[in-house]
Amino acid sequence: MTAVLGIFSFLKLGIVDVLDIVMVAVIIFLVFRWIRGSSAMNIFMALILFLVIQVVVTALGMKMMSAIMNTLLDVGVLALLIIFQPEIRHGLNRLGSNSAIYRKGAALVNRVLGVKASKMDTSAVNEITEACRMMSRDMTGALIVISHSNSLEYIIETGDKIDAAVSRRLIRNLFFKNSPLHDGAIIISGNRIVAARCTLPITQRADVPANLGMRHKAAIGISEETDADVIVVSEQSGKISFVRRGVLTTIGNLNELKLMLGSSDAEKEQGGTA
pLDDT one-digit tens code per residue, 215-226: 999 999 999 888
What is the reported pLDDT for 268? 45
Boundary-marking domain end, from 31, 54, 83? 83
pLDDT one-digit tens code per residue, 2-47: 444 444 455 566 788 788 878 888 887 877 776 665 666 777 777 7
What is the reported pLDDT for 203? 86
* Residue 30 in domain: yes
What one-character-per-residue DSSP string does 167-203 give? -HHHHHHHH-TTSTT-SSEEEEETTEEEEEEE--PPP
Better-predicted residue by pLDDT, 222 or 74: 222
* Residue 160 in domain: yes
* Residue 95 in domain: no
Boundary-marking domain end, from 27, 54, 83? 83
- On whether both 47 and 170 belong to a single domain, the answer is no
Angle among Cα 15, 19, 22 to the nearest 5 degrees reads: 140
Total count of domains within the chain: 2
Rounded-to-integer distance, Cα 182 and Cα 54, Å: 53
Q: Which conformational region is residue 197 in: left (phi greater than 0), alpha (psi within -120 to 50 degrees), or beta?
A: left
Confidence of residue 271 (pLDDT cuts 50, 70, 90): very low
Domain encompassing residue 69:
2-83
| CATH number assigned to the domain comprising residue 267 | 3.40.1700.10
